[in-house]
Amino acid sequence: MSKLIAPHGSDVLMPLYVSDSASRDKLLAEAATLSSVTVSSATAANAVMLGGGYFTPLTGYMNKANAISVAESMQTTDGLFWPTPVLNLINESAAAGVAAGSRITLKDPNVDGEPVLAVQQVESVESLSDAELESIAQHVYGTTDHEHPGVAEFMAQGNVLLSGPIEVLNFSYFEIEFPDTFRTAEQIRQSIESNGWNRVVAFQTRNPMHRAHEELCRMAMERLDADGLVIHMLLGKLKPGDIPALVRDACIRKMIDVYFPANSALVTGYGFDMLYAGPREALLHAVFRQNMGATHFIIGRDHAGVGDYYEPFEAQEIFDKIPAGALKIEMFMADHTAYSKKLDQVVMMREAPDHSKEDFVLLSGTAVREMLGKGIAPPPEFSRPEVAEILMDYYQSQA
C-alpha cells in the first residue's frame, strides 16, 4: 500500500462536498428557504475546488484581512501559506440584504436554471475600495492592466466580500460535461493509492499536448524515478481563442492510449477557471497538486502566463522566495522543450548548448493553428499524427 503525501496544512484532506445523502437532502431543503446570490464564475470555481478538497485546509471564502494578507504576503492572518485569495466577490446590489451571521444559498451562473451550488454561513460582509482591489490585482497578477484576462475577470466581479465557510452540494457542470475526466482531489488520491504509486508526477495543462509536452512528462518520470503520471487539465473557463476542454481531452487521451505504457498515467481534470496569474498561479497549482496526492509537479517555461506579462522563468523563481517547508510537494523545473534535428529526439533546450535555433523544430502557435485550419498536419516531430488529426477536425469545423 502506498503512503501518500500529506495534504497542505492538514493531516487529512478536507473536501467540503456534502456526500451523505440525508445531509444533502436536508441542506437542499434549507437552501430553498434562504436568500440566494448568483455568484461569479470565479466564485463558483472556488466552490468546486473547495468541494473537491483541492483547497485543503480552507473551509470557505476569505475575509478582507485574509484577502489582503494573502495578496501581500502569501499567507493568511494565522500564518498558513496560501498564494492567491479565495473569494466570494459580488456587487453592491447583489449584496443588499445579506448580513453577517446569515446563511445564504449560492447559485451557479454556469448552469441553466442557476441551481444551488453551495450554502454559505456568512461571517462578514465587507467592502473593498477601488484602491484595495487594484492593490490585490497588482500583487496577485503583477499588473492592474485590464487587458490582462485575469485582471479583467477579477475587477468585474464586484467589490463586496462575503466571507465564511461553505457546504458544497454539486460540482457545477464539470461532472456532467466531463464524466470521464473530472476528478476531485479525493478521487485522485484514491486512484494513486489503488495503483500503489509512491512517487507521482503531476502535469498541468490548458492546451492539447504536443510531442514536447509528452516527452517532458516522460523525462520527469525517468529522472525522478516516478511510479506514475497524473495529467491534470483545467476544465473551466479560458480566454477567447483557447481550445475547448472536450477537444483537449480527446487529444490527450489519444496520446496516452497510443504512446504511454498501460497503467502509467491518469488523465484527469479539475473544475477551475484559469487565472493567468503566472508565478502566483504556479504556487496555487502546486498546492492543489499536493492535495491530490502528487509528490512532484512540473513547472515549465511561462507557466500559467499570458502575453508578455511575466518573464519566461518567473513562475519557477518564485518557489525560491517562499518559506522553507511551505510546501511538501517538490518541483521539477523544466526548460522549453523541442525536437532536436541533430539528436533526433525531444530535448530541453538548455541541455543542448551546442544547438542553434535552426537545429530545433520550432513552430509558433499561430503557424500551427493556420496549418491545422488548412488540414495540414504539423510535422511528426512537433505533433503526433493521431493528435493532429483531432485538432485538424476541430479547426476545420470552426472555419
Query: What is the DSSP pairing of strand 160-168 with strand 116-121?
Result: antiparallel
Residue 262 CB neighbours (<10 A): 7
Asked whether 318 and 279 are in contact (CB, 8 A), the reply is: yes
Nearest one of 145, 153, 158, 161 to 70, comparing CA atoms? 161
- Whose cell is 445523502? That residue is 21
Beta bridge partners of 202: 230, 297
Amino acid at 17: Y
Query: Residue 199 burial (CB < 10 Å; 0-12/13-18/19+)?
Result: middle
Q: How far apart are CA 141 and CA 75, in angstroms?
A: 16
* Cα 183 off chain centre by: 12
Cβ contacts of 84 within 8 Å, gap of 6 or more:
70, 71, 140, 275, 277, 280, 281, 283, 284
Active-site residue identified among 159, 195, 198, 207:
207
Q: How far apart are CA 55 and CA 388, in angstroms?
A: 35
SS3 per residue for 249-273: HHHHHHHHHHHCCCCCEEEEEECCC
Asked whether 377 and 371 are in contact (CB, 8 A), the reply is: yes
Residue 189 annotated to the active site: no
Residue 183 annotated to the active site: no
Query: What is the DSSP pairing of strand 200-205 with strand 228-234?
Result: parallel
Cβ contacts of 201 within 8 Å, gap of 6 or more:
217, 220, 221, 224, 226, 228, 229, 230, 294, 295, 296, 297, 298, 332
Active-site residue identified among 206, 218, 253, 369:
206
Q: Which residues are catalytic?
A: 206-207
